[in-house]
Structure 1
Amino acid sequence: MATTRPRRRSAAPPAAGPDLEAKARPRQERAQDTFERILAVTAELLGELGIERLSTNLVCERAGLTPPALYRYFPNKYALLRELGERLMAVQNELLAAWATPQTMKLPRPAFERSVLVLFAQTLELTQQAPGGVWITRALRAVPALQEVRIGSHRQVTGLIEAAFMSAWPEADRERVRVLARLSVEASYATTEMLFDDPALDAQAVGTTLASMIASQVVVVRRG
């Protein structure tokens, strides 16, 4: 008598992540004020409570809104975090875009190293002063649904650095330039997070070491 093998259960489809899109973009002034108040309160609470304890109910309570008023714009707290993350990375990227020029890439090593240190210090200060900036930065790495915001931003600024470097040094190996640019971006943001996690570290010493490491590799890539 033939034995009947048990049927294999088909694997369940992966669970969909949270909806990160803002439901509506306000057009009228009153609605814009509400939209911005929601985000300001979220950043404030994030700085006080952290990612896990943040909730839309707490945002509504602090902002003096009903849940339907908030849900008109944001479906959940992750959509709020995404909006804040995109805004923070946009202003950070403005600093980097102003730095990433062919003129910067042509600087002699000591001057280039100083420019990296200045950029790092400016980015660190901007993030620390932004409402909820430290926790927004952590959320972009810690929350899987938000990682594409960070990765997409890093790809963008990597492209800016690569373009500036190749304009200054057209004979350089483009792939090596791309890799160095991306590693520099990732190292800079990881170093910023390290200082947030361990404020006892000397930020000046950390930034100086980071700038020296990046500058030394830039010299190597320039030489081909």
Structure 2
Amino acid sequence: MPSSRSGAVKRPKVKLAPKLMPAQARSSETYEHLLHVAAQVLAEVGFEKLTTNLVCERAKLSPPALYRYFPNKYALLHELGRRLMEQQNALIAESLTPDAFRGTTGQLNEALTTLLLATFQVTRETTGGIWIMRALRAIPVLQEVRLASAREVVAQVTAQLAEAFPGADPEQMKLFSRVADSMAYAALEMLFDDPTLDPMAVMQVVAASMASQVERLASSPKKTSKR
């Protein structure tokens, strides 16, 4: 195998972008059908056993028909992951407004719990949702989807915090946003890993922790500009 001068083996770059974006109704139907079937197979067998052959067999399409749009199974997972992250992130603006952050701790706790439960529900109702999340964390070539989503969440939440508490430390607001996003993601995985857990109880614990940190941000000394 060819290697770099440092001795590290160079891995071939995996293509993730669709080869062809559908322009006609029939092509769009095929494209969406492939994604739908891929999600179904993923829910049944997990991402390690997912193959393009399985997807083609279930979709009743030939491999060339699939490869016309997706170069490999990672491209399918990439698009499924992008869509799930988009759905999850869209929920944030509905709950985490500046007014929510400025409310009482109890009100913020309730808003955060509602958001976390809605995110759990969206993931659960998405075919193969938990497997998509696991793939985004476990498969190196897909991790950028999750990281890009996290950056978007941090930007959204930090902006809302800055409007709610204009005098708070920007770095502390950004840190809170990053930690909160990771906590929410971990809580989701925990609920799917252990179905005996009560989603409401779990999300209330997470929300209470987040709300207490926001309270600290709100009461922290105001930053003064240096002359």
TM-score, normalising length from structure 2?
0.92
Whether 2:81 is the aligned partner of 1:81: answer: no
* One-letter code aligned to 1:118: T
What is residue 3 of structure 1 aligned with on the other side?
Answer: none
**Cα offsets for 1:175-213 (capped at 9, x unmatched):** 000000110011001110011111112222111110110
What is residue 55 of structure 2 aligned with on the other side?
Answer: 59
| Equivalent pair of 1:97/1:157 in contact (CA under 8 Å) | no
* One-letter code aligned to 1:28: Q
Q: Which runs of 5+ in 1 are unaligned?
A: 1-8
Matched residue SS, 2:91: helix
Question: Which of these residues, 114, 117, 120, is aligned with residue 118 of structure 1?
Answer: 114
CA distance in 2 between counterparts of 1:99 and 1:157 reads 13
CA distance in 1 between counterparts of 2:152 and 2:8 reads 35
TM-score, normalising length from structure 1?
0.94
CA distance in 2 between counterparts of 1:24 and 1:70 reads 10
Matched residue SS, 2:213: helix
CA distance in 1 between counterparts of 2:87 and 2:8 reads 41
Question: Which of these residues, 201, 207, 214, is aligned with residue 210 of structure 2?
Answer: 214
Calculate the aligned-residue CA RMSD, in Å.
1.1
What is residue 195 of structure 2 aligned with on the other side?
Answer: 199
CA distance in 2 between counterparts of 1:33 and 1:123 reads 27
Q: Which runs of 5+ in 2 are unaligned?
A: 221-227
What is residue 135 of structure 1 aligned with on the other side?
Answer: 131
CA distance in 1 between counterparts of 2:10 and 2:165 reads 46
How far does residue 152 in structure 1 lie from its aligned partner after superposition? Answer: 0.6
CA distance in 2 between counterparts of 1:114 and 1:97 reads 15
How far does residue 13 in structure 1 lie from its aligned partner after superposition? Answer: 4.9
CA distance in 1 between counterparts of 2:45 and 2:89 reads 27
Computing the radius of gyration over CA atoms, which structure comes out larger, 1 or 2? Answer: 1
* One-letter code aligned to 2:80: L
CA distance in 2 between counterparts of 1:132 and 1:153 reads 18
| Equivalent pair of 2:123/2:130 in contact (CA under 8 Å) | yes
| Equivalence map 1:15-30=2 (5 Å) | 15-30=11-26
Range with bigger deviation, 93-102 or 172-181: 93-102
* One-letter code aligned to 1:82: H
Question: Which of these residues, 171, 176, 182, is aligned with residue 186 of structure 1?
Answer: 182
| Equivalent pair of 1:99/1:119 in contact (CA under 8 Å) | yes
What is residue 219 of structure 2 aligned with on the other side?
Answer: 223
**Cα offsets for 1:137-190 (capped at 9, x unmatched):** 111111111111001101111100000110111000000000001100110011
